[in-house]
Structure 1
Amino acid sequence: MQLTVLGGCGAWPTAVQACSGYLVEYAGFRLLIDPGYATLPRLLNHSTVDAVNAVLISHGHPDHCADLNPLLRARGLSNEPPSALPVYAPHGAVDAVLALDKPSMLAEAYHLHEFTPGDRFAIGPFTTETWLLPHFVPNAGIRLTTPEAVLAYTGDTGPSPDVLCLAQGADLFLSEATYVHQVPTADAPYLLTARLAGQYAHQAGAARLMLTHLWPGTDPTLSQEAAAETFTHPLCIAAPGLITNLGDEVKTSTSVERNGTLHWNS
């Protein structure tokens, strides 16, 4: 299983960082998770739009799903439209995005599969388990399993014992870490810190930790240092172009750039 980060910025994109977006590939199947703001241009660095086999969305905030609209436009309005794109999302999560165009315009471009967080289902070669995790809107924590590896992704979440269930023994735990050490009081039930993400990864026995959804302007070094207080295995910050092959042994906790693409050190 290979994960390519398209973006990992929370709330809104910056000049150098798109919002949440991840391309997961296994056995020739390409699953796009959370196409947030500005992720489509990043996707086009790695794939054509018609090569995406399915989309999986954790929740309905636009920094996790806004670029579903241009993705469907690029497919549905092309000269030779591909078959309808399966889109998996919690009930109602993508209603606002799909309403950006009149219903008939993109009706043939997608096939919507709505689910309730807590459901388990297959997407191509992936066994998909979901958990309802606390956020401002219904959010699905996502665990993808293949015969070789497990990817666990929080979407956006606040503290919950279910995060440990989600991340248990994962080859890669992709965790929201909006703040470094402390979440503002009003938001504390709905978001995580990098420090707490590190604690969850340690307690769950995850092999690797990737921090994502950092608040714009956050120093990623501080987030990485906070997570490393409790998580001593490899960890890094989600950045566009970072490629992780789950199941590969990684001996260090840093990433390097080779040929313009970020990779874990090995």
Structure 2
Amino acid sequence: MRVVVLGGLGGWPSASQGCAGFLIEHQGFRLLVDPGYATLQPLLTRLSAAAVDAVYVSHGHPDHCADLEPLLRARVLADRSVPALPVYAPTGSLDALLAIDEPGLIDPAYRLHGFTPGDGFDIGPYAVRTWSLPHWVPNAGLRLSVGGTVLAYTGDTGPSPALVELARDADLLIADATYVDQMPDRQVGFLSSAAEVGRYATAARTKEVLLTHLWPGTSPDAAVAAARRAFRGPVGVARPGLVVDVPA
């Protein structure tokens, strides 16, 4: 399984980096996870819009899904013979986004599969399990399994015992690390710190951690150092263009 980082910021994009976005490839199947603000252009440097096989959205905040709409436009307006793109998202989470365009314009471009966080299903070659994780809106943590390899992704989440189950023995955990250590009062319970990620990754016996959703301006080195206080395995930060090959 190969993970290509398209962006790794939370909230809004910077001049040089987009928000959350990951392209996950296995045996020619291309799954786009959380196409947030400013992730479409780096995606299109690697492949055409028509080459995406499926999309998974953890929740409906625009820093995790906004670039789905121009992706659908790129598919339907360039070539109306392209098959409808399967899109998996918590039920109702994309209603507002998919309604912003001219009525009916992008409807042929996608096939929406709504689900309830906690459901399990398949996407292409991947066995998918989802977890309901605490956030302001329904957020579905993702666990992908294929060929003996496991990737876990939190989306945006506050502390939860479910995070250990989600990340249990995962080969790679991509985790919300919006803050380094101290959380603002209004964010407590809804977002995570890099220090918290280190603690639950250790409890879950995760093999490797990739920190994502850093607040713009946060020091990546400080985030890594905070996670490493509790986690002794490899720790990285999601940066555009980073490629991680996840071994079985």
> TM-score interval w.r.t. the shorter chain?
over 0.9
Alignment partners' CA distance in 2, 1:48 and 1:242: 19
| Aligned counterpart, 2:127 | 127
Uncovered stretches (5+) of structure 2, i.e. residues with no partner: none
| CA apart distance, 1:103 | 3.2
Q: Where in structure 2 are the equivalents of 1:13-28 lying within 5 Å?
A: 13-28=13-28
Q: Where in structure 2 are the equivalents of 1:176-255 lying within 5 Å?
A: 176-247=176-247
Amino acid at match of 2:30: R
Instruction: Give the match's secondary structure for 1:165.
Output: helix
| CA apart distance, 1:17 | 1.1
Alignment partners' CA distance in 2, 1:103 and 1:141: 31
Alignment partners' CA distance in 1, 2:65 and 2:27: 25
Alignment partners' CA distance in 1, 2:71 and 2:7: 15
Alignment partners' CA distance in 2, 1:62 and 1:81: 28
| CA apart distance, 1:107 | 1.0
* TM-score between the two structures when normalised by the length of structure 2: 0.98
**Aligned residues: percent identity?**
54
Alignment partners' CA distance in 1, 2:245 and 2:3: 6
Give the count of matched residue pairs: 248
| Aligned counterpart, 2:170 | 170
| CA apart distance, 1:40 | 0.2
Give deviations 1:94-131, integer Å, cap 9, x for gaps.
Answer: 11110111331111100000000000000000000000
Alignment partners' CA distance in 2, 1:121 and 1:59: 17
| Aligned counterpart, 1:154 | 154
Q: Does the aligned pair in 2 maintain the 1:177–1:192 contact within 8 Å? A: yes
Q: Where in structure 2 are the equivalents of 1:35-50 lying within 5 Å?
A: 35-50=35-50
Give deviations 1:211-232, integer Å, cap 9, x for gaps.
Answer: 0000000011100000010111
* TM-score between the two structures when normalised by the length of structure 1: 0.92
Alignment partners' CA distance in 2, 1:160 and 1:79: 44
Instruction: Give the match's secondary structure for 2:73.
Output: helix
Instruction: Give the match's secondary structure for 2:78.
Output: coil
| Aligned counterpart, 1:86 | 86
| Aligned counterpart, 1:11 | 11
Alignment partners' CA distance in 1, 2:139 and 2:115: 11
Amino acid at match of 1:150: V
| CA apart distance, 1:66 | 0.1
Alignment partners' CA distance in 1, 2:176 and 2:79: 38
| CA apart distance, 1:176 | 0.3
Alignment partners' CA distance in 1, 2:17 and 2:148: 30
Uncovered stretches (5+) of structure 1, i.e. residues with no partner: 249-266
Amino acid at match of 1:67: D
| Aligned counterpart, 1:143 | 143
Question: Would you identify which runs of 4 or more consecutive aligned residues in structure 1 move more than 4 Å?
Answer: none
| CA apart distance, 1:79 | 3.6
| CA apart distance, 1:148 | 3.0
Instruction: Give the match's secondary structure for 1:103.
Output: coil
